[in-house]
Amino acid sequence: MSVALDNFAGLVEVGAEVREALAAGRAVVALESTIITHGMPYPENLETAQAVEAVVRQGGAVPATIAIMDGVFRVGIEAVDLDRLANRSSGVVKASRRDIASVLARGGTAGTTVATTMIGAHLAGIRIFATGGVGGVHRGAEQTFDISADLSELAKTPVAVVCAGAKSILDIPKTLEVLETHGVPVIGYQTNDFPAFYARVSGYPVDHRVESATDIARIIAIGERLGMRNGLLVANPIPETDALDATLIEERIARAIRDADAAGVSRKDLTPFLLQRMYELTEGRSLTANIALVRNNAALGAGIAVALADLEATTSHRATA
């Protein structure tokens, strides 16, 4: 059961549980679906999507997995939708910002990228979103201009995205530069170093380090009071026990990128291709690490959402405008 948002009847629908939680000022965490449709193999994609929702609940928040289902932008999908996305029944595409209206117009079904999930979350009034890795500036972008639309979305949509940094299939220093250009705060959770997804450190510093979920909630609340309107990137390193050896990963990433070049893969197919190739080249270890870090991010996302709800229950930190 879900309810259409007043101004978007038939276009955007928010699940009943999510809508009730938001109306009551309770904690809600958005989750993306391209990770399900294009980021992991079956059945691990389904198991992970279910596990991540459970982790959010254990943390005291309501999960809102976002996707486009049969021409409706859904915030808080149901179990049957998760199954369909995970099974990648024919015609399930990857939707970034520019694809949303077209997919809705033709009644299509899509996994939503970080950019699109931020848009859905914001339409519904959700301010915290947990995922694995964000898109960024691809290596060789000086030739290809391949820069993920996730970065420009972070510049203009006020949602805090919890991630494990950026994979080194991307150019991490260039990704950090673009985030800086766009005025996107990069907050390290208990780290001074921007994490590199499979590894806890990248060698590049974050702008600001915080020690607790409450500290992050305060930063979000202050940004809102000031009417900043930008997103925020929370960088949460993969747990120590799940991190992969940095040298091993570097070598496999270089090979995956060479393979993509040789196969002529580019644009929206590149990230899914590289993820699949990393899975093959690491005998599945990249996937195990990926699952562990997404769960870790979901737990922190829930912690931030709960802290933000608590903060607002006791003070009037939210902008009134």
Task: Name which position in 146, 171, 193, 224 contacts Mn ion (CB under 5 A).
Answer: 146
For the chain, what is the largest distance between any 2 Cα atoms, rounded to a whole number of angstroms?
Answer: 57
200 binds ligand PSU (CB under 6 A): no
135 binds ligand PSU (CB under 6 A): yes
193 C-beta neighbours (distance < 10 Å), count: 18
68 — phi, psi (to 5°)?
Answer: -105, 120
Count of residues of this chain found to bind ligand PSU when the rule CB under 6 A is applied:
17
Q: Name the residue with tokens 């496999």.
A: 252
Q: Does 268 participate in catalysis according to the annotation? A: no
Output the CA angle 224-225-227, nearest 5 degrees. 60
Binding-residue pattern over the window 102 to 141 for Mn ion, x denoting contact by CB under 5 A: ----------------------------------------
Kindly tell me which of 99 and 224 has the beta carbon lying closer to ligand PSU. Answer: 99
85 C-beta neighbours (distance < 10 Å), count: 28
224 binds ligand PSU (CB under 6 A): no
Q: Which does 114 bind (CB under 5 to 8 A by kind): ligand PSU, Mn ion, none?
A: ligand PSU
Q: Which does 39 bind (CB under 5 to 8 A by kind): Mn ion, ligand PSU, none?
A: ligand PSU
Tokens of 159: 């949602």
> Within positions 115 to 134, which residues make up the interface with ligand PSU, using CB under 6 A?
132-133
Least distance (Å) between residue 111 CB and ligand PSU: 7
**Which of these segments, 7-15, 120-128, 268-276, 307-315, binds ligand PSU (CB under 6 A)?**
268-276
Distances (CA, A) of 311 to 213, 304, 308, 317, 318: 11, 10, 5, 7, 10
Give the list of residues 6+ apart from residue 222 with CB closer than 8 angstroms, or none: 317
Least distance (Å) between residue 138 CB and Mn ion: 6
Which residues are registered as beta bridge partners of 138? 170
Is 33 in contact with 93 (CB distance < 8 Å)?
no
Task: Name which position in 109, 175, 191, 271 contacts ligand PSU (CB under 6 A).
Answer: 271
Q: Which residue is nearest to Mn ion (CB)?
A: 146
Is 121 in contact with 30 (CB distance < 8 Å)?
yes
**Which of these segments, 143-151, 204-212, 226-234, 252-260, binds ligand PSU (CB under 6 A)?**
143-151
Tokens of 194: 């921007």
Least distance (Å) between residue 193 CB and ligand PSU: 19
Give the list of residues 6+ apart from residue 111 with CB closer than 8 angstroms, or none: 32, 33, 34, 35, 36, 37, 38, 67, 85, 92, 93, 94, 95
Rounded CA separation 124/6 (Å): 11
Tokens of 55: 């982790």
275 binds ligand PSU (CB under 6 A): yes
The active-site residue, picked from 13, 44, 167, 268, is 167
The DSSP 8-state label assigned to residue 261 in this structure reads H
242 binds ligand PSU (CB under 6 A): no
The active-site residue, picked from 32, 53, 153, 224, is 32
Task: Name which position in 127, 167, 252, 295 contacts ligand PSU (CB under 6 A).
Answer: 167
Q: Which residues are catalytic?
A: 32, 167
Contacts to ligand PSU by CB under 6 A: 32, 34-35, 39, 96, 113-114, 132-133, 135, 148-150, 167, 268, 271, 275
Q: Give residues in contact with Mn ion (CB under 5 A).
A: 146
